[in-house]
Amino acid sequence: MIKSTSKQLFIATALIAINFISFTAQAQSSVWKVSKGNDHIFIGGTVHILPPSEFPLPTEFDEAYSKSDSIVLEAKLPDASDTNFQMKMMQQMAYGNGQTISDFISAKTQKNLSHYIASLGVNLTMLEHFKPGFLMTMLAQFEAQKAQLSGEGVDIFYSKKAQQDNKSIAYLESVTFQLNMIASMGIGDEERFIKSNLEQMKDFKTMFLAVLKAWRSGDEQQLNTLAIMPMKEDPKTLKQLLNDRNKNWIPHIERMFANNGKSSDKEFVLVGVAHLAGDESVLALLKAKGYRVEKF
């Protein structure tokens, strides 16, 4: 999906995905088994952009997938060949009436932004009409490409695999919701938003690799430090990007359990790893409701 507006967002929601209430002493990877009575589902933390070198994925992911009848993703992945959707998205992500990002930030920040974009081999004029959330999303993509870390993410991998295996795919939210979220990020607060994100993009590669390592090994403490703690400096974005959505997903997840009147099929829920981190994560919310949460 289109996700993350900077290193902190890209990692947290592009990486990003872990609850720091200690579920087990030693984690193997970012996959959990959530149980209620005799029923259970699996929840896995994903990385939305994954270098080819990270495949094959940790065995816990394939085991959870093989034991599940269906997968559940954040949202349906847009078809890259859908030109109507692409056009609609570009229109929604751009300022109207000839406005550009430079109209909302100081001359100094505009200069810093221009220099940074130039360092990625891009000219500001190619991106200046985009709103701040989507602009920083694009820059994160360019950073990943520059560092040769760009590739098919866990979500896309299992989406394709489920289609090949004729497993059903469900979604926690709509693409329209996600587009609206990204389009609204930083609006009315462009100066602070751009300055903050530019500062955090300085060590993108180092942080990206650190989160990949923590995600792969299931290092919960490190994931919290890297993915959640930096976002607390921007509580508005943390709430919008993670906490509110975590709460919205809980009713959907609860309906997956057989004793709620649904089938006994097993689901494998795959969400960005940052949604599973911290005291307001999906896992923490489920545990607070009485579900048993354990590393798979």
* Every domain of the chain and the residues it spans: 7-295
Average pLDDT rounded to a whole number, residues 247-263: 82
The closest alpha carbon to 144, from 226, 49, 216, 53, belongs to 49
With both helix axes pointing from N to C terminus, report the angle between 107-119 and 190-200 in degrees, rounded to the nearest 10: 40
Q: What is the pTM of this model?
A: 0.86
**Percentage of the chain with pLDDT > 70?**
89
Does an H or E element contain 146, and which? helix 132-146
151 touches 50 (CB < 8 A): yes
Average pLDDT rounded to a whole number, residues 138-149: 90
Q: How many CA atoms lie within 13 A of 253 on its CB side?
A: 28
Name residue, tokens 């896309």: 156
**pLDDT classification of 263: cutoffs 50, 70, 90:** low
